[in-house]
Structure 1
Amino acid sequence: MGTVTSATEQPETPAAGRTAPIPRLIATDLDGTLLRDDKTVSGRTVAALAAAEAAGIEVFFVTGRPARWMDVASAHVHGHGLAICANGAAVVDLRGGGRFVEVRPLERADARVIVERLRAAVPGTSFAAERTTGFHYEPRYPPYQLDPGATVAPAEEFLADDFAGAETAAGEPCGPILKLLAHHPELAPDAFLALARTAAGEHGSITRSSPTALLEISGLGVSKASTLAGYCAEHGIAPEEVVAFGDMPNDLEMLGWAGTSYAMANAHPEVLAATTHRAAANNEDGVAAVIERIVRAACG
């Protein structure tokens, strides 16, 4: 994989019903899926992940989380050591200290247009930007996890062309934008998502994974599905050989692309409607239970 690539079109979805009895790769979301609500990985799940790898089935974490939030899962990565982060905007080597293997950025010009259009269409929206080198947010944006190295400034400032040459608190040049985040303090999450897609959808891929009105905006064509599809194509893995798990709208493309997909029992209604297979809720180790069945079949 290259270091920085442009966004590509979404991968084609395989025909319904084409599945393989023994998959070659398991792709799983983290929050609300693999992780319990307290953000831990249960002992049962740890054992299931290890058993899958021992059976020759590759496990890939595919999450909306930035690389800097991957400590919850980095100890449980096997095989390749890679994870797809920021809804497909980055492939990260968790064994290599969080090194970026591939980056698919949101261009600053598109980010600025999105900010301008959402400010006009949805007054009261505040913004943040996740870069490869750190986090930047507006004074009214609610930081979901404190970051002492973050820059607090208007979006027009941290998205400006000349800001790219500024230095972070660690003295590093600011890197590409992985995703823009938009928050609204009053709107219902799905209503905010619909308004944002109408106002600015041609400039980025807009989705959500939070229970609050927090939108995640990547480069046009960037998604969990398109980045996972690229990895699988490079390694000769067909969609029919992939089993995927997810619970929120940012998982929909991936669940539609994979040959076999499971919605968690606690999933968003749109995810439940789009999938035919169900896993028990995240707090009930639903992913682990399915992986255990897969491994038993693989081991005969």
Structure 2
Amino acid sequence: MTSATRRPRTPASPLPPRLIATDLDGTLLRDDKSVSKRTVAALAAAEEAGIDVFFVTGRPARWMDVVSDHVHGHGLAICGNGAAVVDLHDGPGAHRFVKIRELLPKTALDVVTLLRAAAPGTAFAVERTGGLHHEPTYPPLHVDPSESVAPAEDLLADDAAGAGQPVLKVLAFHPTLGPDAFLRLARTAVGDRAMITRSSPSALLEISGPGVSKASTLALCCAERGISHEQVVAFGDMPNDVEMLTWAGTSYAMGNAHPDVIAAASGRTVANNEDGVAVVIERILAQGF
């Protein structure tokens, strides 16, 4: 059986789903960053059936244009690996921050110091609500220009450019370490001072405030709606999805997922380029929920 025709593994769900939580890159989006017609139809059908759909992504709010037409009624997305809940109702460039779970600059500075010692050569960037600031040695990994360029210690100073804007996360890039090796090293060096994960194929780490993850912010949003974790179906493909997939009552690793994601999820669907999220949503709706 080819990957295009195999059926996803289906875990048992104890309660009818009330919310679908899906990552974007490598999960809902195809590799060309498009949302297929099949996926658009499945998302709309889920909302029509009374199932909320939340996009839960590492992307900053300014990169949400790709799905801003598909947020439906509630209009909310969880961005920055849980650092922000954003209202996308007003369209591209007009998003509104509903909830911010910031990384305190002092904590960020401590993390930078520890990582410089543990992994010499690391280059840093600082993601604030108003944009990205980075060091001179940080590579051009992002699609938008930086707001300022300076050493991380200056970017996090009280008088830094954008200092009045909360820090959502710090990014750390290493030019020679492998992605998983860098992640393990960083988690050992930093401990519980911050949440460290990754979603890039390169050695690029994403550092949030302690306890801030896709899972913890999704849990807050669900609690506000009276939705239990057993009523959540989640999808993901990279290590920054692991906590969310573990927390959700039913979860699916994509066919293209990282091994840690496969181990964390309760089920598996086909790859993002094969509309794996839509395949599962269609099955859920066919069951009459």
Say yes or no: TM over 0.5.
Answer: yes
Alignment match of 1:51 (pick from 26, 45, 48): 45
* Aligned positions, number: 276
Post-superposition offset of 1:106? 0.3
Cα distance per residue 1:42-75 (max 9 Å; x no partner): 0100000000000111000000000011111111
Distance 2:175 2:280 in 1: 37
2:206 is aligned to 216
2:108 is aligned to 111
* Aligned 8 A contact 1:25 1:58 in 2: yes
1:252 is aligned to 242
Cα distance per residue 1:72-93 (max 9 Å; x no partner): 1111111200000000000000
RMSD: 1.4
Q: Any stretches of 5+ residues in structure 2 without a counterpart?
A: 1-10
Alignment match of 2:36 (pick from 35, 42, 67): 42
2:141 is aligned to 144
| Matched AA of 2:35 | V
1:284 is aligned to 274
1:176 is aligned to 166
2:85 is aligned to 91
* Aligned 8 A contact 1:132 1:174 in 2: no
The range that moved more, 289-298 or 206-215, is 289-298
TM-score (structure 1 length as normaliser): 0.89
| Matched AA of 2:182 | F
Post-superposition offset of 1:202? 2.3
| Matched AA of 1:236 | G
Post-superposition offset of 1:240? 0.6
Alignment match of 1:69 (pick from 63, 69, 86): 63
Alignment match of 2:159 (pick from 142, 155, 162): 162
Q: Any stretches of 5+ residues in structure 1 without a counterpart?
A: 1-16, 168-172
Cα distance per residue 1:23-57 (max 9 Å; x no partner): 00000000000000011100100000000000111
SS in 2 for 1:37: coil
Post-superposition offset of 1:144? 1.8
Alignment match of 1:131 (pick from 106, 120, 128): 128
| Matched AA of 1:69 | W
* Aligned 8 A contact 2:13 2:230 in 1: yes
1:191 is aligned to 181
| Matched AA of 2:67 | A
Same amino acid, percent of matched pairs: 70
Distance 2:185 2:166 in 1: 26
* Aligned 8 A contact 1:66 1:86 in 2: yes
- Tell me whether 1:239 sits opposite 2:233 in the alignment: no
Cα distance per residue 1:246-289 (max 9 Å; x no partner): 01110011001100000001000111122231110000000001
| Matched AA of 2:202 | T
